[in-house]
Amino acid sequence: MGRSTIISGQKPVRRKRKHAEENRKKVLLSALRFAAVILVIAGIIMLPGYIATKIQSGFKSLVSSRVHRVEFLGEGGSLAEFDRETLQARLSESADAGKSLDELAQIAGSLAPLSKVEVMRASPDKIVIGFERRAPALRIDRGVIRLVDSAGFVYGSCCVLPTQDAEAQLPLLTGVLATDQSGLSNKEEHELIREALGLNEGLAGKGLKAASFRYQNHRGFFAIMEPGDIEVSIGRAPFDDKLKRLAEVLERVDRQKVSRIELDYHGKAFIKERKL
């Protein structure tokens, strides 16, 4: 009969293999446990965000599926000067399409002469628009007549609505347009508009009124005064001293006899009388 002999300090090959297999199982089990712990932790961390996203998505879906009502709370005048119903319809349509509140504010500002727009959601189906109207100070010729507010912002159109009678009386500014022909840059155009606003304000401070302002390269501003249609050559800013002289001259002359006054000479005023 055969014998098996065990040499001191050694184990049979079969036992070695069994032991190695058990070690591999332990290592694999430990790795699976570790992975499971990581997945549980990740799930705990991500679950609130996932739930919030679902809630937000559901709310957006709910909001976008509603028909929104739009109301206005404004300062600086009513909304009668433009088509209120058209604005309400456009904003309601945009809100129904899921536009954000910021996007609704931009749409309102682009459609109406508003200098400040705040959009609030009063309820899931009600949008409230808070606004401040722009204050027009001049008209400006842009091929079509547009308006300029007191900050120099060009907007809207004039004067096509019956409610724009007051705006139609504002002085008309011409010659201020950044084009290749005019040689003006956008920055220079904006500076000239601000100068024209300052000139108009300065005249009002002296109790004077201009029907129009015209800018001419290398000469500056010309004004047509009311009453009398006197053309006044004023030049560029600063205007304080020139307007002081103009007020003094107009107090002394017969406007019916004067056709032109030139102020763009230092400390002097030249008067040209009308031809009889």
pLDDT of residue 5: 45
Q: Is the pLDDT of residue 99 over 90?
A: no
- The residue range of the domain holding 127 is 69-133
Could you tell me if residue 52 is inside a domain?
no
Could you tell me if residue 6 is inside a domain?
no
Structure token digits, residue 209: 């009124």
The 10s digit of each residue's pLDDT in 127-156 is 887 777 778 999 999 988 989 998 898 887
Could you tell me if residue 53 is inside a domain?
no
pLDDT tier for residue 244 given thresholds of 50, 70 and 90:
very high
Does residue 160 sit in the same domain as residue 249?
yes
CATH of the domain at 78: 3.10.20.310
Beta strands in 24-176 (DSSP E): 69-75, 114-123, 126-133, 136-141, 145-149, 154-155, 172-174
The total number of structural domains in the chain stands at 3
Does residue 154 sit in the same domain as residue 255?
yes
CB 103 within 8 A of CB 94: yes
Q: Is the pLDDT of residue 266 over 80?
A: no
pLDDT of residue 175: 95
Instruction: State how far the Cα of 190 lies from the Cα of 174, in Å rounded to an integer.
Output: 13
Q: What mean pLDDT is reported for the chain?
A: 79
pLDDT tier for residue 20 given thresholds of 50, 70 and 90:
low
Does residue 129 sit in the same domain as residue 154?
no
The 10s digit of each residue's pLDDT in 73-95 is 655 444 444 556 777 788 888 88
Does residue 103 sit in the same domain as residue 127?
yes
> What's the gap between Cα 254 and its chain centre?
48
Does residue 168 sit in the same domain as residue 217?
yes
- What average pLDDT does this structure show over 163-184? 87
Nearest Cα neighbor of 199 from 222, 219, 183, 178 is: 222
Find the helix or strand (DSSP H, E) in which 88 lies.
Answer: helix 84-96
